[in-house]
């Protein structure tokens, strides 16, 4: 037996993909998402120091603004360290069935963008897409530990402390000499 590698040609893959698209229901559209993966990354000095992974139950293909805020507030602290939210991203493979072949062509990756950034708290909606790709839909949160705020708070408390310090000075009483003589008895 020889250990040879069997190569699959790109043209064979595209031809097979045509067959799969026309003759199977593998790329059928889904009506609703029931669960969504959520990844939370904690950064310190632009290095990931920790992360969490959740599976969130969603209704009507969306995470509401209140659910989003609750999720964020529940995850601002980890290992007794406080983090600030710096990014909310949605990764959704939003391909239509007729675009699968075009997407698989290696020259067309630049035409597709699956990441959406959110700068405000709002409902995050996922559109019904191909069921095969639903497990890849993800929401991402990035939290950053902000050392500068802590240092500023320490400086402010020290300044406040110094402002309330009372200086007390004592006057030395004038030195008086009492001339006493000893009596001998």
Query: Does 165 fall in a domain?
Result: no
* Confidence bin at 74 (pLDDT 50/70/90): very high
The DSSP code for 59 is B
**Per residue in 108-143, pLDDT tens?**
667 778 889 999 999 998 887 777 788 888 999 999
135 vs 35: CA distance, rounded Å: 9
Query: Does 179 fall in a domain?
Result: no
Query: Does 73 fall in a domain?
Result: yes
Q: How far is CA 38 from CA 41, 42, 54, 179, in A?
A: 10, 13, 5, 91
pTM higher than the cut 0.85: no
Domain limits at 129? 33-152
Q: HSE, CB side, 13 Å, CA atoms: give it for residue 25.
A: 2
Between these two residues, 128 and 18, which has the higher pLDDT value? 128
Strand, helix or coil at 142?
strand
89 vs 99: CA distance, rounded Å: 23
The rounded percent of the chain whose pLDDT value lies above 70 is 68
For residues 158-170, average pLDDT? 65
Query: Does 174 fall in a domain?
Result: no
Residue 76 has pLDDT above 80, yes or no: yes
- Which has the minimum average pLDDT: 90-94, 117-121, 132-136, 162-166? 162-166
Query: Does 62 fall in a domain?
Result: yes
Residue 161 has pLDDT above 60, yes or no: no
How does the average pLDDT of the chain come out, rounded? 78
For residues 151-166, average pLDDT? 59
Query: Does 113 fall in a domain?
Result: yes
Residue 48 has pLDDT above 80, yes or no: yes
Query: Does 163 fall in a domain?
Result: no
* CATH number (domain holding residue 131): 3.10.20
Residue 89 has pLDDT above 90, yes or no: yes
Strand, helix or coil at 6?
coil
Query: Does 25 fall in a domain?
Result: no
Q: How many domains does the chain have?
A: 1
* Confidence bin at 10 (pLDDT 50/70/90): low
Alpha carbon dihedral 53, 59, 65, 69, in 10-degree steps, equals -30
């Amino acid at each position: 037996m020889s250990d040879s590698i069997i190569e699959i040609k790109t043209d064979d893959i595209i031809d097979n993909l045509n067959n799969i698209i026309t003759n199977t229901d593998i790329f059928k559209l889904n009506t609703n998402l029931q669960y969504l993966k959520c990844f939370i990354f904690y950064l310190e000095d632009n290095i990931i120091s920790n992360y969490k992974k959740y599976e969130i139950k969603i209704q009507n293909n969306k995470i509401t603004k209140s659910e989003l805020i609750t999720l964020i507030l529940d995850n601002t602290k980890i290992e007794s360290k406080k983090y600030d939210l710096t990014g909310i991203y949605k990764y959704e493979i939003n391909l239509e069935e007729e675009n699968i072949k075009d997407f698989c062509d290696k020259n067309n990756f630049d035409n597709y963008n699956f990441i959406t950034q959110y700068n405000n708290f709002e409902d995050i909606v996922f559109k019904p897409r191909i069921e095969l790709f639903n497990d890849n839909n993800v929401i991402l949160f990035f939290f950053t530990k902000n050392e500068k705020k802590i240092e500023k708070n320490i400086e402010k408390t020290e300044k406040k402390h110094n402002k309330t310090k009372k200086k007390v000075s004592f006057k030395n009483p004038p030195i008086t000499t009492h001339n006493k003589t000893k009596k001998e008895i």
